[in-house]
Amino acid sequence: MSRVTDFINLSLNSSTIVAEYIWIGGSGLDLRSKARTLSTPIDDPQKLPKWNYDGSSTGQAHGNETEVILYPQAVFKDPFRRDNSILVLCDAYNSFEDPIYTNKRFNAAKIFGHPDVVREAPWFGIEQEYTLLQKDTKWPLGWPQGGFPSPQGPYYCGVGAEKAFGRDIVDAHYKACLYAGITIGGVNAEVMPGQWEFQVGPSPGLTAADELWVARYILERVAEIAGVIVSFSSKPVPGDWNGAGAHTNYSTKSMRKEGGYEAIEKAIKKLELRHKEHIASYGEGNEDRLTGNHETADINTFSWGVATRGASIRVGRETAKERKGYFEDRRPGSNMDPYVVTSMIAETTILWKP
Amino acid sequence: MSLLSDLVNLDLSSSTEKIIAEYIWIGGSGVDLRSKARTLPGPESDPSKLPKWNYDGSSTNQAPGEDSEIIIYPQAIYKDPFRRGNNILVMCDAYTPQGDPIPTNKRHNAAKIFSHSDVIAEEPWFGIEQEYTLLQKDVKWPIGWPIGGYPGPQGPYYCGTGADKAFGRDIVDAHYKACLYAGINICGTNGEVMPGQWEFQVGPSEGIAAGDQVWVARYILERITEIAGVVLSFDPKPIPGDWNGAGAHTNYSTKSMRSDGGFDVIRKAIGKLEKRHKEHMAAYGEGNERRLTGKHETADMNNFKWGVANRGASVRVGRETEKANKGYFEDRRPSSNMDPYVVTSMIAETTIIWQP
């Protein structure tokens, strides 16, 4: 295969670049992409041409009106093609310039553009958990066929052939994201074997969600190369095995400055009052994960605490000590839409009045 | 899979100043190693300038779920042989949020001993011979051994070569270079008496550095066996019967022992170790009683004896040291799963500070 690889890694000498346009498909979770040639390097999304795709093939258009228009919104370096080639994250519109139903970015952009929100400069750090599955059986990577590995305990941040499954995918993804320009803060092996986590942020408002979507895309491309499947299911294996979440760390200007702990407590109070609304938007199948066991809080009950992992919201010891900082919303499932979650947290805590 | 390797081996230095730091700590069993990575804004070589971090102690048996944060303090930096570039490995020790070392943190006490003025003055050097066994992944039987059976008896394997005598050399050689790259003071390797068993030596290193380097060398070894799909065991007697166990012989000297006439100091030091034999044995590794039987080049666990060039002794003095009347000696009692922070600091404490 090395001759094929030689071509994939061929350096393009001219100013020609390839741009991979990425968008979210009809399920709201599946990622799609296609590539086009551009005659000169461009890194400003506003200068990139709009494009379109066949929405009837992704469950996003009906009848005779099949063209869905892609508006470039964010540009990253392409870690697969390298040179000056780029990844372009887009959101989707119909030909009348209205966002299509699955386009959650449009509404998030409105919330993050609101002057009160802009003033508070919200930052997000998202901990994306995911599970690697064997390709043909859809059973977690490293697990014996028709059986289970020994119980959880040795796997969290573990090392060794019988404890860590798929590290090459994780490490390739880490470097690829750094190369692409994503603010990836770290990685670790998770409690369930074959499960991993990476963190994106802290990034402001809309950028955090853009970066998370592109990081997910890069992850799926890397796993594709490795012949392994990525699952964002929030409870991939029932029973005494941890689920997968997307804990969302959050702070505003008021929370980060001296005495900000008061702003944190107020914000958490507002989130408590809108618990049901948030939970409804925090990802499909989350009720299988949020049981009160396996370091989660029960889905129907809102709770918060310092350094406690069994709560809906956790405040770190450092923040409690300094009386300022950030807090962690542990409720979102790994399959959540970061546009929805981040904008909803900002909206509830900054704009909404009880 | 070369496309995957291309990404794993990507050289980021032309696209970003950022580096990746892999923080390493010792887990709840006192022998299991854990690690996770974070991005830092630029290269760093001073551990005191690295940020403290924390991890979920309830997942490693080191804290309850209601108060799970354990803080890790960076103590030593090595170059990362897996990520290369300016990326680093960071050896840490673990504390409660209030700043107290947690029970499995043996480094804290060792550091205190090694900062005692009498100990500093004696410049204690350690050379640790780490033995280990490689096991096949799903059956946990040594590599190269037939499933459901045994290889031919011990004899041909020690420092042996050949497909029927040396099992897993690629792991050993990859580990050797990776440690040298990382900046670990690895001074050699050899195939051991039991087939599938190997040894590497770290040292001579001074004071607390010996412990740090052995732990990071163990981490690098387990990362390599992970890549090779092989299981690493530090069990002191992995196979019962007529098969050698695995130890961590600890070679030791102080400034006085290394100076002319130092053999006298060596004799005195060994005398002190004899008096504290029981205390040392209790701290020299779990399961050591299965290894220290008096056979297979060990001394019986309950008896202390020493001798020149004697491999059946608790402590062995080399002929070279006897001839030069100065040098070092080898404590053969520690097992392969010993904690080097405990063993090195205890030897220093007994021989330099302790008075009978």
DSSP-assigned states of every residue in A227-253: TEEEE--SSSS-SSS---BEEEEEE-H
* pLDDT of A261: 97
Q: Which of A238-247, A265-274, B262-271, B293-302 has the lowest mean pLDDT?
A: B293-302
* Mean pLDDT rounded to a whole number for chain B: 95
| Residue B148, amino acid | G
**Rounded average pLDDT over B273-281:** 97
Residue B193 near residue B158, CB atoms below 8 Å: yes
**What percentage of chain B reaches a pLDDT higher than 90?**
91
Compute the nearest-CA separation of B7 from chain A (Å).
5
Which of chain A's residues have a Cβ under 8 Å away from the Cβ of B7?
Answer: 79, 172-173, 175-176, 222, 225
* Mean pLDDT rounded to a whole number for chain A: 95
Tokens 């043996």 identify what position? B106
Q: Which of A250-254, A340-344, B195-199, B286-290 has the lowest mean pLDDT?
A: B286-290
Which of chain B's residues have a Cβ under 8 Å away from the Cβ of A5?
Answer: 2-3, 6
Which one of B39, B69, B138 has the shortest CB-CB distance to A186?
B39
**What percentage of chain B reaches a pLDDT higher than 70?**
99
* pLDDT of B48: 98
Which one of A2, A189, A295 has the shortest CB-CB distance to B65?
A295
A 78-137 residues with CB below 8 A of B? 79-80
* pLDDT of B88: 98
Q: Is a pLDDT exceeding 70 seen at residue B65?
A: no
Please list the residues that pair with B316 across neighbouring strands.
B307, B330
User: Cα(A293)–Cα(A287) distance, rounded to whole angstroms?
Assistant: 12
Selected for mutation to probe chain A from B1, B5, B8, B100 (highest A CB count within 10 Å) is B8
Compute the nearest-CA separation of B106 from chain A (Å).
20
* pLDDT of B1: 66
ipTM of the complex: 0.92
Chain-chain contact of B66 with A308 (C-beta, under 8 angstroms)? yes
What residues have CB less than 8 Å from A107, skipping those under 6 apart? A99, A339, A343
**Rounded average pLDDT over A102-119:** 98
pLDDT tens for each residue of A77-86: 999 999 999 9
Q: Is a pLDDT exceeding 80 seen at residue A13?
A: no
- Give the model's confidence band at B312: pLDDT under 50 very low, under 70 low, under 90 confident, else very high: confident
- Give the model's confidence band at B63: pLDDT under 50 very low, under 70 low, under 90 confident, else very high: confident
- Greatest CA separation found in chain B? 63
pLDDT tens for each residue of B95-123: 998 899 999 999 999 999 999 999 999 99
* pLDDT of A346: 98
Residue B129 near residue B62, CB atoms below 8 Å: no
Contact B295/A at CB under 8 A: no
Q: Which of A67-81, A146-160, B168-182, B309-323 has the lowest mean pLDDT?
A: B309-323
pLDDT tens for each residue of B323-350: 999 999 999 999 999 999 999 999 999 9
**Cis omega (within 30 of 0) for bond into B103:** no
pLDDT tens for each residue of B164-221: 999 999 999 999 999 999 999 999 999 999 999 999 999 999 999 999 999 999 999 9
Question: Would you state the structure tokens that stand for residue A67, as one six-digit string?
Answer: 């063209």
Burial tier of B283 (Cβ tally within 10 Å: 0-12, 13-18, 19+): middle
Contact A223/B at CB under 8 A: no
B 118-147 residues with CB below 8 A of A? 137-138
A 50-79 residues with CB below 8 A of B? 77, 79
Compute the nearest-CA separation of B88 from chain A (Å).
13
A 137-166 residues with CB below 8 A of B? 144, 153-154, 156-164
Residue B70 near residue A309, CB atoms below 8 Å: no
pLDDT tens for each residue of A189-215: 999 999 999 999 999 989 999 999 999
**Rounded average pLDDT over A262-273:** 97
Nearest CA to B217 among B48, B78, B23, B348? B78
